[in-house]
Amino acid sequence: MSNQQAWLSMMAFIRQHYQQAEGLIPLHAPCFDEAEKRLVVDCIDSTFVSSVGQYVTEFEQQITDFTGAKHAVAVVNGTMGLHLALKVIGLQANDLVITQSLTFVATPNAIKMHQADPVFVDVERETLGLCPESLNHFLTEQTIQQNGECVHRQTDRVIRACVPMHTLGFPARIDAILEICNRHNIALVEDAAESLGSFYQGQHTGRFGQVGVFSFNGNKVITTGGGGMLITNNAELARHAKHLSTTAKVPHAWLFEHDEPAYNLRMPNINAALGVAQMQKLPAFLTEKRALAQAYQQQSGLVVLNEPTNTQSNYWLNALLCESEAERNAFLEFSNRQHIQTRPLWTPMHQLAIYVDCLRTDMTNTDWLAARVVNVPSGVRCDG
Ligand SMILES: *Cc1c(COP(=O)(O)O)cnc(C)c1O
């Protein structure tokens, strides 16, 4: 079968799946019904729409129940969640933080906001996540241990943390990454923004590092409009994150005492109300997304990425692997012209002018994947 024929039948499959003969089929749209409306209206009726209210606590409880993490702290969005996670693990100005170049710009931005700099390590083709071998090679060749810290020899800067990302919901090889980080005294913070509902060897993503961070932006697996969440098993990290997210106010019935310079990153109750309703649907969303992924994989003549062995992906966004950048561009043209929304991966961070001067390893797999992967419509069907 020629590419054109395979693509045509894929477009037909997508229109049939979403039962939409014409008009735009988005990459990923949220799905709401009466349940969300009821809780949001309840929130408005109660007047507790802002930073105080029961839905925040309830949503945090649902996330700990679902992931198995001991603690959860709701915040305004995933980007600031990453920023806060890096703050509580002790990131300081002038530190270095290892991450992948194949990520959304929020990951390095959260590092930069601390006046620290990202170091980009290559990813694996199978998982799209940070490559443990590249990480190990970089740390072994370029760092030494000094007073229990990992120091980059050439720049004399401390490598404080490593932030792998579970790309498109496919879990990275997080146990191997954790082992390497432990050996080099580097904190592990997981960018799990895309991976709510994804498991590595039966354990939820975000639970391997000191802190994991989810996003509930409008295009993610579940949404609160805007929102994010930290998870951790460390009670002190959780307490500090919550404290810093709420202006570090010392609890008192009426006095305004604050014991360190801090932020206002609290998730408003009205957003959490959406989250509570969405969490009840998460298992059904995951089942439907898995079935769609299987259907995509059965399309003949196309290579569609599958979950790595020993993992369970949430299949946030399904991904087609093209043979070349030229073919990728042709597919993007072809599908978008038919109002079927498809998108390439992000331009790798080491290619952006703002991050081009950062330290990095060889980027063979990052460049290879960035030139070939296209995301295709993956949202759940919804008549709202
Ligand atoms: C969505 C996303 C974020 C940021 O989340 P927001 O809630 O949009 O701020 C961070 N990292 C990755 C990889 C993401 O996909």
190 ligand 1 Cβ < 6 A: no
Going by alpha carbons, the residue nearest to atom 5 of ligand 1 is: 78
- Does one domain contain both 255 and 301? no
Average model confidence (pLDDT) across the chain = 97
User: Could you tell me if 209 and 295 lie in one domain?
Assistant: no
- β-strand partners of 158: 151
Total number of domains in the chain: 2
- Of 233, 248, 278, which residue is a domain's last? 278
Is 262 contained in some domain?
yes
Q: pLDDT digit string (tens) for 95-144?
A: 999 999 999 999 999 999 999 999 999 999 999 999 999 999 999 999 99
Instruction: Give CA–CA dist 72/58, Å, rounded.
Output: 11
Ligand 1, atom nearest to 106 Cα: 10
Residue 338: domain span: 3-30+281-346
Residue 383: inside a domain, yes or no? no
Ligand 1 center–CA 215 separation, angstroms: 6
By most ligand atoms within 8 Å of CB, the mutation choice from 28, 194, 215 for ligand 1 is 215
The answer to whether residue 361 is domain-embedded is no
**Does any ligand 1 atom lie closer than 6 A to the CB of residue 106?**
yes
Both 289 and 170 in one domain: the answer is: no
Task: Give yes or no: residues 74 and 151 share one domain.
Answer: yes
Beta-carbon contacts of 51 under 8 Å, excluding residues fewer than 6 positions away, are 246, 264, 266, 268, 269
52 and 89, same structural domain?
yes
Q: What are the pLDDT tens digits along the chain (384 aa)?
A: 568 899 999 999 999 999 999 999 999 999 999 999 999 999 999 999 998 889 999 999 999 999 999 999 999 999 999 999 999 999 999 999 999 999 999 999 999 999 999 999 999 999 999 999 999 999 999 999 999 999 999 999 999 999 999 999 999 999 999 999 999 999 999 999 999 999 999 999 999 999 999 999 999 999 999 999 999 999 999 999 999 999 999 999 999 999 999 999 999 999 999 999 999 999 999 999 999 999 999 998 999 999 999 999 999 999 999 999 999 999 999 999 999 999 999 999 999 999 999 999 999 999 999 999 999 999 999 874
Residues 308 and 260 in one domain: no
Same domain, 328 and 243: no
pTM of the shown model: 0.98
Distance CA 89, CA 375 (A): 33
Give yes or no: residues 153 and 89 share one domain.
Answer: yes
Q: Which residues face 191 on adjacent strands?
A: 165, 213
3-state secondary structure labels for all residues of 156-221: CEEEEEEECECHHHCCCCHHHHHHHHHHCCCEEEEECCCCCCCEECCEECCCCCCEEEEECCCCCC
Q: Is the CB of 79 under 6 A from ligand 1?
A: yes
Gap from CA of 79 to ligand 1 centroid (Å):
6
